[in-house]
Amino acid sequence: MNTEGLSNSELQAAELVEQPVAADVAVEAPPLVEVPTPAPPMVVPSLDDSSLYIHRELSQLQFNIRVLEQALDESYPLLERLKFLLIFSSNLDEFFEIRVAGLKKQITFAREQAGADGLQPHQALARISELVHEQVNRQYAILNDTLLPALEKHQVRFIRRRFWNTKLKAWVRRYFRDEIAPIITPIGLDPTHPFPLLVNKSLNFIVELEGIDAFGRDSGLAIIPAPRLLPRIIKVPEDVGGPGDNYVFLSSMIHAHADDLFQGMKVKGCYQFRLTRNADLSVDTEDVEDLARALRGELFSRRYGDAVRLEVVDTCPAHLSGYLLKQFGLAESELYKVNGPVNLTRLFSITGLDSHPELQYTPFTPVIPKLLQNSDNIFSVISKQDILLLHPFESFTPVVDLLRQAAKDPHVLAIKQTLYRSGANSEIVDALVEAARNGKEVTAVIELRARFDEESNLQLASRLQAAGAVVIYGVVGFKTHAKMMLILRRESGEIVRYAHLGTGNYHAGNAKLYTDYSLLTADVALGEDVAKMFSQLIGMGKTLRMKKLLHAPFTLKKTLLDMITRETQLASEGKPAHIMAKFNSLTDPKIIRALYKASQTGVRIDLVVRGMCCLRPGIAGVSHNIQVRSIIGRFLEHTRVFYFLNEGDEKIYLSSADWMERNLDKRVETGFPVEGKKLILRVKKELEAYLTDNTQSWVLQPDGRYLRSSPTGNQNPRSAQAGLLDKLTAPLVSAR
């Protein structure tokens, strides 16, 4: 019997017909009309089944791959495409410094722990190596075969050595002699000159030599560390390189004149390489008396952590790359051979060329709501109604102005603020310093452990302390990630609280690049809650009950789970149920299991997750009602928005927290409600814009892959970021 193309139930029926029948068994004649055999019941896996979860590091790597894809998107200006390619490099550096280093550390100390996905660290590392090798090769192919030729058509050239003419060679020789050679210190390798300790991510060269030096040494090898103060790309004067923007790589100059550094020796080969080290700080907050002092000590050691990756130019011979691997204690799988400069992030310096504005995004001016444009007293505006801003489409200036006015206002008594990433010399810090000098009671809760901003935050703390502000370093064991500002002002004999709550950092630069919400409010209950939050951070005592504010690690996760459970219950009763949420990462197993249960019950769940997502959508019987999108575009998506239909009484929260264990269990975070029909409708529509994006959205598949959306049929192209840019920066919209 031909069974090709039959369904499972039809195959089972066919197998039954073809079974040999014993003589003593009566077989009923089949009915004249075939009755379909019901499909067997679906086997639904346990919600603890590891196959339902994606490994967090592999998911993070998928996000970085989506970033790299933008370099091929011809709808972006050319220099912006180059920028995406360089962001891929920068993200990958941090991925190795933190994520890969963490996995290697587990293996080194025999503390391998599998997450909900069941993947052991050594298994994850093998998959990471395979993926990264593939994508790095692809990155350099995009650079060499697509972006650099396209830039050359616009007279932006990186002149390789084989194309140097006589005039350029002479100029390079002079530049090398005058600017490079005096600073470089080559290190010959012999028993008295062991292999040097190289700084994390520094550019270096391994040189193979032939001959005997003045002291009779003939080790045959040397290292040239390239000083960090030297530019990695050097612009060639127009009278030498010709019209346009012409550049030469520092590495090319050193390759061309390595002989000059080893007089009397023959240079057989000179090859660039770069070492990436573990850059995660390991301060045991339980065992230190002074966190600031301990961090200062750790910041130096970050430059010399354990090796995690070696990049070498692809022309480097195997015996030399093998020698380097042995020096750093790395395996062959941790070697990355690249067709070009090993330190691509230094190319960021040319992505903002003044000579080529047409190759960059069209500038725009963030809008200030009309209510605030013509007001000399921002307090009077906020006292009448909440102000909600969506950056970068709407300006961050009102947040800075609020603090500036508070610093000067004789009625303001005190200012309290959390600072995570703000920069020591920002306008926000200037205003706090002014306020302290003007006699205001200024208290700053500074999170010293904000990764890669530790040094800046130490400087910030010193500056504020010098101005007379009280500086607190948060809570031991819990990073303070909440974004809060509280201003106490005396009005008509009473103290009135004004608050700012945000999803992003107090960093004016980031506010131009990241999408984030800011709420300016004089709501009495919210103001009291923010005051209680600061009391918990600064003083000591039991958890204080909040009226409106959700706060981690106490009520935020519990409330989220309760709201998911409520939608699940409503769906089980046959009522409409809907969850929409947007955040950066989803890794918390308890949250994921709750979402799976909600999906099984019939809750429609729409998630916009920029980066890591450990949930697998679209699995029959488990997550078939869940869709996950990732938006990659001009701005870094950073807003955290949580929506629950709640039987028609819609609830929307904005938050500083992602749905991750670290945020919900081990950090100080806030979640604050959006109130009033007008603001609720606004945020809901802005969230829905991301769910209907069909040009910059990537849809997560059950197997962990992401597929890019594109308009189908008669659909018009829709970009959430472009739509918000058009809408919120239009002149008429500023009247909102």
Catalytic residue, candidates 55, 356, 391, 481: 481
In angstroms, the CA 7 to CA 384 distance is: 65
Is 481 catalytic? The answer is yes
**From the CB of residue 10, how many other CB atoms can be counted at a distance below 10 Å?**
14
Contact 426, 506 (CB under 8 A): yes
Token pair for 573? 């009763």
Pick from 246, 281, 249, 507: which is nearest to 399 by CA?
A: 507
391, β-bridge pairs: 516
* Strand 651-655 relative to strand 578-583, pairing: unpaired
Q: Which two tokens stand for residue 193?
A: 């000159």
Distance CA 698, CA 681 (A): 25
Residues ≥6 apart with Cβ < 8 Å to 684: 580, 643, 650, 652
Reading the block at residue 112, the tokens are: 């391998």
d(CA 168, CA 159): 10
Distance of CA 526 to the CA centre of its chain: 30
C-alpha to C-alpha distance for 635 and 180, rounded to whole angstroms:
38
- Rounded CA-CA distance 172/350 in Å is 20
How is residue 60 written in tokens? 């993070």
DSSP codes, 348-395 = GGGTT-TT-GGGSPPP--PBPPHHHHT-S-HHHHHHHS-EEEEETTB-
Other C-beta atoms within 10 Å of 201: how many?
20
Contacts of 22 (CB under 8 A, 6+ apart): none
Burial class (CB in 10 A: 0-12, 13-18, 19+), 653: buried
SS3 state of residue 199: coil
Instruction: Round to whole Å and give the CA distance between 473 and 50.
Output: 38
Structural Rg of the chain based on CA atoms = 30
Q: How far is CA 594 from CA 560, 598, 603, in A?
A: 10, 6, 11
The residues carrying an active-site annotation are 481
